[in-house]
A and B are shown apart, each in its own frame.
Chain A
Amino acid sequence: MYVAVKGGEAAIRNAHRLLADRRRGDRSVPALRLDQIVEQLALGVDRVMAEGSLYDRELAALAITQARGDMIEAVFLVRAFRTTLPRFGYTRAADTGSMLVERRISATYKDIPGGQLLGPTFDYTHRLLEPEIAAGIDPETPETRDVDEEPMPRVTDILARDELIEEDGSVPAEKTVADISREPLEFPLDRDARLQALARGDEGFLLALAYSTQRGYARSHPFVGEIRIGEIDLELDVPELPFPVPLGRIQVTECQMVNQFKGSAKTPPQFTRGYGLVFGQSERKAMAMSLCDRALRASELGEDVVAPAQDEEFVISHSDNVQATGFVEHLKLPHYVDFQAELDLVRRMRSEVSSGNEAGHREAAE
């Protein structure tokens, strides 16, 4: 017999009404507008876009507000929204080489064509809190300088000229591009599927794994060949038009990680690579992604798989924070019946142990 227990409708309704009130907070404080979040909490918005796997700044800002600033809840909201929209197709592969660059640095070469451009970075700040921000002081207008229209080739392309580094990665050409949002994951994955999973993976999880590779839990020896942040053009092929339609631009962060060597009897040693590409200005995430990408290529490069960061099934199965939070947080939902069964079981086990003990005592007494 199965007896369903219902209840709690009024409690749930009132809880959500209370949530809405707490979300708004003190009514004497002005309510946040989405444009304020988009403009002033931009990197939080970018994180929600990257992990929500949906590039739409205003929706990400709405999700952050609705989630009261809980980033994983915001990511969850964005993922749920995605499922309500029809799909129009896939863009042509975007060219990061022709990016409108806002930041571009290399830790491997000092003098690179196009130069080292710091852009709007936290690097070299003193990490001291600035009370004048709280006072609402208007910052100075940024400095400008004449633009040198020198091209900005990818640093990896410069290294590739002398064959000092392996080529940009490829998967078999006859294979259709993997899409983990359409088909379930099947291990082992090709690198395209892995990169898609990493691009939407949790920044904290990937950061910790990337850090573990630096501390010796995998072969790594990384250098940042290049990080570039800026806007790339998107184009879509559609049946109704005889040319690819320009859709506009999105901001992305790209990281080219250069790692130690791989060679064989036939091929002389070359630097190997890890790649990161993330929506928005998400430098830490792009770096972590590239380190994880490189670590996950262990088998392909003939390295022993000895560390967690090299274990594809472990990394990719646990990198999605929506799945992770879903399974962890479901534990707080009512499990009354399951728990009754467990209670029953533990009582039976205890009574068997104690009756066994009694029998034992009796034997011992005799």
Chain B
Amino acid sequence: MRGKTEKQAQRRANMAVLARAPGERLKVLWDSAGLEAEHQIVRGPETGLVTVRGRIGGGGSPFNVGEVTVTRSTVKLAGGAVGHSYALGRDKEKSRIAALFDALWQDVNLQTKLAANIIEPLARELSARDAQTKERTAATRVDFFTMVRGED
């Protein structure tokens, strides 16, 4: 049971990285890793709308803020494994690769290679970007000081 939960958490973490990855970068990594495999497209890649929900006051009842474009795909390998992908934007090739990744990842023997060639470099680049955003924002933090005027 624990193994299943862990596997799901890892699958979800992979999806989070793939969803945020720039499409061009994913394509370059995918091609150079030589991971392309025969597969059947079950659905998509198709672009649609997802409505973003926020909460009143930040933590109250949900309300609809507006829509985002999302592209999704489902693929099936010859062996029967099915892979899915959902991500913001309209990049169909990125969507297909991410779904194929998800299908291939279900083969335990491929997981190390998939992680090393795709997820790890992407995750590194994404967290470097976040770190840069945080460091640049931190430099705009206000340091208040008190001015003392007069003798006493």
Contacts and interface: CB of A to CB of B under 8 A. Distances in A.
A148 B138 contact: yes
Which size class do B's interface residues fall under? 35 or more
In this complex, the member of B15, B48, B53, B140 whose beta carbon has the largest number of chain A beta carbons within 10 angstroms is B140
A89 B67 CA distance: 10
B58 A234 contact: no
Contacts of B62: 93, 177, 192
B66 A192 contact: no
Contact of A102 (B15, B133, B144): B133
A340 interface: no
A51 to B, nearest CB: 9
A24 interface: no
A267 B44 CA distance: 55
Contacts of A311: none
A359 to B, nearest CB: 65
Given A54-B68, A154-B58, A168-B55, A88 B48 contact: yes
Contacts, number: 224
Contacts of B11: 243
Contact of B86 (A86, A247, A279): A247
A119 B70 CA distance: 29
A236 B50 contact: yes
A192 B142 contact: no
Contacts of B66: 49-50, 53-55, 196, 199-200, 279
B68 A94 contact: no
A289 to B, nearest CB: 11
Contacts of B100: none
Interface stretch (A14-22, A248-256, A312-320): A248-256
B68 A195 contact: no
A240 B75 CA distance: 12
Interface in B92-149: 130-142, 144
A6 B28 CA distance: 55
B40 interface: no
A262 interface: no
A329 B87 CA distance: 37
B136 to A, nearest CB: 4
Interface string A175-217: 0011111000000000111011001100000000000000000
A179 B59 contact: no
A196 B12 CA distance: 30
A87 B139 contact: no
Interface string A235-273: 010101111011111101010100000000000000001
B53 A236 contact: no
B25 interface: no
Nearest to A118: B140
A110 interface: yes
Interface of A: 49-50, 53-56, 58-59, 82, 85-97, 100-103, 110-111, 115-119, 142-148, 154, 156-157, 167-171, 173, 177-181, 191-193, 195-196, 199-200, 233-234, 236, 238, 240-243, 245-250, 252, 254, 256, 273, 275, 277-279
13 contacts: A58-B90, A85-B48, A90-B51, A93-B62, A116-B141, A142-B139, A143-B139, A170-B56, A181-B67, A234-B68, A246-B12, A254-B58, A279-B65
